[in-house]
Structure 1
Amino acid sequence: MPYVPTAVSTGFRVLSAVAPPLAVRLAARTFWHFGPPAPVRPADRAVHDRAARGTVSVGDERLVTYRWGDRDAPAVLLAHGWKSRASRFAPLVTALREAGLAAVSFDGVAHGDSTGRRMSALDHMAAIRAVHDTEGPFTAVVGHSLGGLAAGLALADGFPADRFVSVATMTGFDALAGAFLRLVGMPASLHDRFCDHVERTFPGDVRDIRTRVDLVRHPVPARVATLFVQDDDDRMSLPSGAPLLRAAVPGSELLTTRGLGHTRVLDDPAVVAAVVAHVTAPRPATARR
């Protein structure tokens, strides 16, 4: 879970009690402030440095892409989460390469080595499509947290892939907002006011963001073999959302873990093995187009 200084969370709690409108406005500004990009973890450095790098444009921003493996090998696209970066998938990249697959990822807008100052789920969806155009096609997509939400919505919009793994993914914008409010210490009573304010001020004059960014209302197509992975101790992506996501996608599977939280689930050998098994499993004859 991203770290929030105690002084910040205390300030938001006090302000929420004495001046709710001001608390909502300041929280909305904070919501878009990503701060310095996350560094590459020492444990991930060797994998990060082995990648073949490229760039892709999304609007006015230049995103850095990473490929591990041959271009003629079946490729899996990896979409990272909020305040993360491509290198965070290092254990999975290693396992995919050992299975004979190529792995492709990217640093989202305002993340890692890419440009930009703020990123939404819609920006992440646009990045996924742009990376497909330069590095695809992809046999499968794996997304973590916000990356899972964006990848799922992209699949709902027709993004071409046969398999999908969603790790620690929120159900939609409301769940993402709820995670943020818990993180900064604001009460649930201000949830709707906060969401409405963000929706009114969303970049690009996008409307109906609470409905549009919702993986239950806009689920992954049943033709895409889908695995949801959820840890019972995840305080960012609450476990209560996973059954809703699974129910929205007929035939999907749910893998639950315990004690790994929101990000350490990406390092767990059993989870990595389950993800590789899912993306390499043969498609049932009834699922072939």
Structure 2
Amino acid sequence: MFFSVIYPLLLIVSLVHQNYLRILVVMHRRPTLLMKAKVRPTTHYVRVCRSIRLFDLYSLDMMSSYLSALYAMYLFEKTRPLPYKPAEMMLLKQCRQENFTWRHALVNMFIYPQSDQQAEKVLLLHGWDGRSIMLRHLAQRLQATGYSVHAPDLPAHGASPGRGVSFYDLSSAVIDIERQYGPFSVVIGHSSGGLVGCMAAMQGLHFKRMILISSPCCFGEVVDNYVLSHKLPRHIASAMKKLYQLRYGVHPDKIGPEWIAQIKQPVLIVHDKGDISIDLEDAMVLTHVLEKSKLIVTAGQGHNGALRDASVFKRISAFLEPTAQEDATRMANPVLRLRPTIDVRFKR
């Protein structure tokens, strides 16, 4: 709607801005390095773009709550795939990079291998709008202790192509990753990657132990928080949930503590008390409902700090020590059964 009309104008403004910077560089009034900064509407005029989209959504809501919920779902599932720069690839030089096909799209997999083919395998799941490179410190430490680590760029994230994806589809992708590269002894999820790992476990993912770092405890609350933080009409959250139930056969509020409690394998929960992205209360809920759980509360690490902290890794390593003597299991009766019967999506 309005965004489609105004975006071309913003693009023209961006081109004018880019050429203005080019002129300043030619006149030696700005450093040459400035030319590496690409001026794009979605990066340099973020507030304007968000305001237009919000105006779009409220306008749709006046006409149809169904259309506004569809548009809100489209924005909620929209991701920012980021290809790797040469400098970033240098940081990942010890990895083996592979691609595999998932639903007619390629998914990038970074493997930190071991010479021993019988080495225990670990699956690392990054968070929303994240990339596997964010987990490289943890992956390198796990590799150094003898684990073969698999860190994918999940569909529509990082170098894996795509413009958007749902949490449901990400959990299905994890199941397919297990078929391709598993079985995995340990599943480690950061932020929403932890919830996606739990959703995969509810579908029958095999593993021995799980680690949840700064993870939410309920998908329904993730939807509620998105609507609240983006100042959308409150009733859109319930409409979005109904559309998810229509699309996948499972209501988002069902994907929460009651179902997560069915995970019987040992689970380590790591959360920072100052995390402003995911509240510590989510970790407390997970600790309460999971039968074999242990909670580590950090301070001053924020949402991502635990991924790089050596002291946290020592405790993770201690938690994983008994893994070699355990057997991989799965949920006896998977509670999450996705039945995509109707594809309800917003088309642009």
- Give the partner amino acid of 2:61: P
Mapped partners of 1:201, 1:41: distance in 2? 41
Aligned pair 1:275/2:316, yes or no? yes
Q: Deviations over 1:194-240 (max 9, x none)?
A: 322323444982233313432x1211545311011111122221111
Are residues 207 and 222 of structure 1, via their aligned partners in 2, closer, same or farther at CA, if it must alter by over 3 Å?
Answer: closer
**Once the 2 structures are TM-superposed, how far is the Cα of residue 40 of structure 1 from its aligned partner?**
6.4
Aligned pair 1:211/2:256, yes or no? no
Mapped partners of 1:288, 1:125: distance in 2? 19
Structure 2 residue ranges without an equivalent (≥5):
1-42, 330-348
Range that drifts further, 5-14 or 262-271:
5-14
> Does the 8 Å CA contact 1:28/1:197 hold for their aligned counterparts?
no
Mapped partners of 1:78, 1:252: distance in 2? 19
Mapped partners of 1:168, 1:41: distance in 2? 29
Identify the residue that residue 29 of structure 1 maps to in structure 2.
74
**Once the 2 structures are TM-superposed, how far is the Cα of residue 115 of structure 1 from its aligned partner?**
2.2
- Backbone CA RMSD of aligned residues: 3.2
Q: Could you tell me the TM-score, scaled by structure 2's length? A: 0.70
Percent identical among aligned pairs is 19
Mapped partners of 1:139, 1:46: distance in 2? 28
Aligned pair 1:59/2:103, yes or no? yes
Identify the residue that residue 302 of structure 2 maps to in structure 1.
261
**Once the 2 structures are TM-superposed, how far is the Cα of residue 279 of structure 1 from its aligned partner?**
2.2
**Once the 2 structures are TM-superposed, how far is the Cα of residue 50 of structure 1 from its aligned partner?**
2.1
Mapped partners of 2:310, 2:79: distance in 1? 30
Are residues 222 and 199 of structure 1, via their aligned partners in 2, closer, same or farther at CA, if it must alter by over 3 Å?
Answer: closer
Which residue of 162, 166, 169 maps to 1:120?
166
Give 3-state SS (helix, strand or coil) of 2:258's partner.
Answer: coil
Aligned pair 1:72/2:114, yes or no? no
- Give the partner amino acid of 2:76: F
Identify the residue that residue 106 of structure 1 maps to in structure 2.
152
Mapped partners of 1:107, 1:30: distance in 2? 20
> Does the 8 Å CA contact 2:108/2:153 hold for their aligned counterparts?
yes
Aligned pair 1:143/2:192, yes or no? no
> Does the 8 Å CA contact 2:185/2:323 hold for their aligned counterparts?
no
> Does the 8 Å CA contact 1:40/1:87 hold for their aligned counterparts?
no
Are residues 51 and 30 of structure 1, via their aligned partners in 2, closer, same or farther at CA, if it must alter by over 3 Å?
Answer: same
Are residues 122 and 248 of structure 1, via their aligned partners in 2, closer, same or farther at CA, if it must alter by over 3 Å?
Answer: same
Are residues 272 and 13 of structure 1, via their aligned partners in 2, closer, same or farther at CA, if it must alter by over 3 Å?
Answer: farther
Mapped partners of 2:252, 2:210: distance in 1? 23
Structure 1 residue ranges without an equivalent (≥5):
none
Identify the residue that residue 134 of structure 2 maps to in structure 1.
88
Mapped partners of 1:258, 1:15: distance in 2? 40
Identify the residue that residue 237 of structure 1 maps to in structure 2.
278
> Does the 8 Å CA contact 1:38/1:112 hold for their aligned counterparts?
yes
Give 3-state SS (helix, strand or coil) of 2:260's partner.
Answer: coil
Mapped partners of 1:203, 1:60: distance in 2? 24
Q: Deviations over 1:62-87 (max 9, x none)?
A: 21112111243111111111000112
> Does the 8 Å CA contact 1:164/1:279 hold for their aligned counterparts?
no
- Give the partner amino acid of 1:101: Y
Are residues 101 and 45 of structure 1, via their aligned partners in 2, closer, same or farther at CA, if it must alter by over 3 Å?
Answer: same
**Once the 2 structures are TM-superposed, how far is the Cα of residue 283 of structure 1 from its aligned partner?**
7.3
Mapped partners of 1:40, 1:245: distance in 2? 37
Q: Deviations over 1:26-54 (max 9, x none)?
A: 54332122134275696x64442321122
**Once the 2 structures are TM-superposed, how far is the Cα of residue 135 of structure 1 from its aligned partner?**
1.1
Range that drifts further, 128-137 or 49-58:
49-58
> Does the 8 Å CA contact 1:91/1:272 hold for their aligned counterparts?
no
Aligned pair 1:194/2:240, yes or no? no
Identify the residue that residue 293 of structure 2 maps to in structure 1.
252
Aligned residues: 279
Mapped partners of 1:282, 1:27: distance in 2? 42
Mapped partners of 1:288, 1:204: distance in 2? 33
